[in-house]
C-alpha cells in the first residue's frame, strides 16, 4: 500500500478557510490578512477596503448574521460598521 502524499499543497480560494479569528473593527489598523470570508453575529453594515483598495460600504440588508460571506477585504473600519466582533477567515 502506498503512503499518502504529504507534499504541501497551496490553498486556493476554493479551499476551506485557514486563519480564522474574531476581529474587532478599527479605523487605524488593516486586517491581519486579506479575508476569504467574514461572518457577523448580528446583521450590520460594513465599512471596509476591498482587496483592490476600494473603500466600500455594504448596507445592512446585504449581510445576514450567522453566514460566512465570501468577501475579500483588507480593512474593516469601526466608523460606519456597527458590528463589534466579526469572524474573519483567510
Tell me the pLDDT tens digit for each residue of 3-51: 665 555 566 666 666 678 999 999 999 999 999 999 999 989 999 999 9
pTM of the model as a whole: 0.80
Cell of 33: 490578512
Q: How far apart are CA 80 and CA 78, in angstroms?
A: 6
Whether 59 shows a pLDDT value over 80: the answer reads yes
Distances (CA, A) of 76 to 1, 16, 36, 37, 42: 49, 22, 13, 12, 16
User: What is the predicted pLDDT for the residue at 84?
Assistant: 77
User: Where in the chain are the domains?
Assistant: 21-89
SS (H, E, C) 57-76: EECHHHCCCCCCECCCEEEE
Residue 4's pLDDT is 60
Q: What is the DSSP letter of 53?
A: S
**With bands split at pLDDT 50, 70 and 90, how would you rate the model's confidence at 83?**
confident
Element (H, E) at 84: none
Query: Residue 51 CA to chain centroid, in angstroms?
Result: 11
Amino acid at each position: 500500500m502506498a503512503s499518502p502524499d504529504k507534499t504541501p499543497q497551496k490553498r486556493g480560494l476554493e479551499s476551506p478557510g485557514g486563519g480564522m479569528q474574531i476581529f474587532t473593527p478599527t479605523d487605524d489598523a488593516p486586517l491581519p490578512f486579506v479575508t476569504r470570508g467574514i461572518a457577523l453575529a448580528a446583521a450590520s453594515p460594513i465599512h471596509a477596503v476591498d482587496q483592490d483598495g476600494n473603500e466600500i460600504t455594504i448596507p445592512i440588508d446585504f449581510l445576514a448574521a450567522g453566514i460566512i460571506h465570501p468577501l475579500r477585504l483588507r480593512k474593516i473600519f469601526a466608523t460606519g460598521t456597527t458590528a463589534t466582533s466579526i469572524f474573519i477567515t483567510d
